[in-house]
Amino acid sequence: VVRVEAALTCGTDVKTLRRGHPVMIPHVPTVFGHELAGVVTAVGRGAPGAKEGDRIVAANSAPCGRCRLCAAGRPNLCADLLFVNGAYGQYMALPPRLVARNVVPIGPGLTASSAAFAEPLACALLGIERGRVESGMTVAIWGHGPLGCLLALAARQRGAQVVIVGKAGWRLDRVRELGLGTCVDALSVPDMVEHLRGLTGGPGPDVAVDATGRPEVWEGAIDGVGRGGTVVLFGGCAPGTSVRVDTRRAHYEELTLVGAFHHTPAMIRRAVELLESKAIEPSGLLTHRVGLGQVKEALA
């Protein structure tokens, strides 16, 4: 059992329609309260090695370790991925498989509020890994929400130049103040492809990442990536949607389109390492601090 010290709202599974009404996406489980750090308060027989008082980060899932994709080194695609949520409570129980595979101790130098970023940061690290981002590359990220910002931090940590495509407002202002990358207001640019080519001196971005989960933005990322580039389809779109692909360009310019889903135990541990070493510092993304009684208002 873990006493929750910090939990985030940045990855909750809520979409907002253009007219402003929140809707739940019915084809996936609700994932409220899955980004957390806490203190172990009780240990059962299924959790050898854990002890009361340990400060930990707990991921929100655990792969089986036995299926074909786990054996192939892709545990994020596990056929029996066990999900665990519930961090919007004072305490939560963690099952044995999660304790064995995806609970990571944290040191005294890492605050709970920063440690809680480990789960979404691990997802961002997987996305940047899928994009094969290297030092000196230019990475364009569509979306300036929390995950877009974490993708930017992960790309910058690898030595890439970052362009963040968003829309004018307090969020984009905040991102600009934090210096996460060159910020572009998509609504003020008549031709995004040409604009990105101008920013990169002609070739366009080496890697384009969608962090919005909107089909039209997927298309924008595909259109905007440079010749020979990689497009990371990070944001999950609603079921039944589709996108167009310029087949000639995809073929003759050898574009690579890759999905990026969830995280792995290795990425969770890498995220904790980066947070503890301060190589990635996400505290600037925190805008409010509220108690458990104000979770409803925080989500609103």
Q: Which of 11-20, 194-203, 271-280 has the lowest mean pLDDT?
A: 11-20
State how beta strands 82-83 and 161-166 pair: unpaired
Write out pLDDT tens, residues 17-76.
Answer: 333 333 333 344 455 789 999 999 999 988 888 999 999 999 999 999 999 999 999 999
234-270 residue pLDDT tens: 999 999 999 999 999 999 999 999 999 999 999 999 9
Q: What is the mean pLDDT of residues 178-186?
A: 97
pLDDT tens for 199-208 read: 999 999 999 9
Pairwise CA distance, residues 46 & 98, whole Å: 10
**Length of the chain in terms of residues written:** 300
Q: What is the pLDDT at residue 79?
A: 97
Type of residue found at 288: H
State the Cα–Cα distance between residues 154 and 144, nearest whole angstrom: 14
Give the residue-averaged pLDDT of 170-174.
95
Contact between residue 175 and residue 107 where contact means Cβ atoms under 8 Å apart: no
**Is residue 263 within 8 Å of 122, Cβ to Cβ?**
yes
For the whole model, what pTM was predicted?
0.92
- In whole angstroms, give the CA distance from residue 220 to residue 252: 19
Q: CA 112, CA 167: separation in Å to the nearest integer? A: 31
- pLDDT for position 265: 98
- Per-residue model confidence (pLDDT) at position 10: 65
How much is the pLDDT for 49? Answer: 85
Q: What is the dihedral of CA 177, 182, 185, 188, to 10 degrees?
A: 130
3-class DSSP assignment, residue 265: helix
**Per mean pLDDT, which range of 85-99, 135-149, 184-198 is the poorest?**
85-99
